[in-house]
Amino acid sequence: MPEMPSLPGAVIVISSHVVRGTVGNRAVVFALETLGHPVWALPTVILPWHPGHGRSTRITIPDAEFQSVIDDLAQAPWAGEVRAVLSGYLGSADQADGVARLVTALRARNPDLVYACDPVIGDAEGLYVPETTATAIRDRLLPLASLATPNRFELAWLAGAALESNAAILDAALGLGPSRMLVTSAIPMMNGGTGNLYLSGNHALLAEHRLIENPPNGTGDLLTAVFLARLLEGLTEERALQMATASVFEIIARTVKRGADELTLEQDASSLATPMAMVQMRRLLHPSQMRRK
């Protein structure tokens, strides 16, 4: 994939919307706009709050209306402003088809369009979307993605393999297709830590920090947004990973210290712009180097 030049442009974000809280589009839009990127936001579902807080009403945008909005965006007179698309939680398998159509249409106008796919499908406890939706994300969206940002459990499902080592994670990431893969909840090398593992054609990197127990929801959404923003700025992959990881770690730590049940983004914009947290960066053996041995 070509390097991402530092040019102005809008980002279309397509994910869930909560009325209270900072998950899905609420986290992504705040982060991207704080870092200077215009955002077009399209909700896939609307919820009063994250389901982890308890039962609530769920409104899924009807498929026909969703597809019509996708058509409008693809044909919008301002479509030339769009530099990137980011998709997260989807409310149905048909929504994956809509995202794929939008990315394809926008790339026909701008071959350098960046598409970041955050396959929000599950965690350590298993899938929390229907298997048809997870399959649509795997089969329709990942092949189009410039960047994918699964957690380790999502990657294991997508790749159909148990991932008990970082070498296994790297192999699975290489096999899925996107030229850039950022995997959260990687295997830490430091005691009491957690890591974000990044693989591209040039790098295999692990960014580690201290594990904070019981973090609020939305950290994966936030990391994807900040990492994409940093790449769009033209930072190197290593620097973008270091800064994005530091921002998210710092915000988690501050949120937990306040005793908040949602990420306190409105109080922590400085952590997005100029994070101060320490992150341990490690270079790992790239899978291509392993195969040459």
**CA-CA-CA-CA torsion for 252, 27, 123, 52, nearest 10 degrees?**
90
Contacts of 93 (CB under 8 A, 6+ apart): 130, 132, 133, 135, 136
Residue 252: closest CA among 100, 27, 69: 27
Alpha carbons 264 and 267: distance in angstroms, whole number: 6
Tokens of 113: 């369009």
Q: What is the value of pTM for the model shown?
A: 0.94
Cα separation, 23 vs 2, in Å, equals 30
Kindly give the confidence (pLDDT) of every residue in the chain, 293 residues in length, as a single tens digit, with 9 standing for 90 and above.
Answer: 445 544 568 999 999 999 999 999 999 999 999 999 999 999 999 999 999 899 999 999 999 999 999 999 999 999 999 999 999 999 999 999 999 999 999 999 999 999 999 999 999 888 999 999 999 999 999 999 999 999 999 999 999 988 999 999 999 999 898 999 999 999 999 999 999 999 998 889 999 999 999 999 999 999 999 999 999 999 999 999 999 999 999 999 999 999 999 999 999 999 999 999 999 999 998 887 765 55
Instruction: Give CA separation, 101 vs 29, 70, 72, 74, 245, in Å.
Output: 22, 8, 12, 8, 31
Q: Strands 82-87, 114-117: parallel, antiparallel or unpaired by DSSP? A: parallel
User: What 8-state DSSP symbol labels residue 77?
Assistant: T
The rounded radius of gyration (Å) of the Cα atoms in the chain is 18
Residues 246, 247, 252, 255: is their CA dihedral positive or negative? positive
Quote the tokens at residue 177. 């297709």
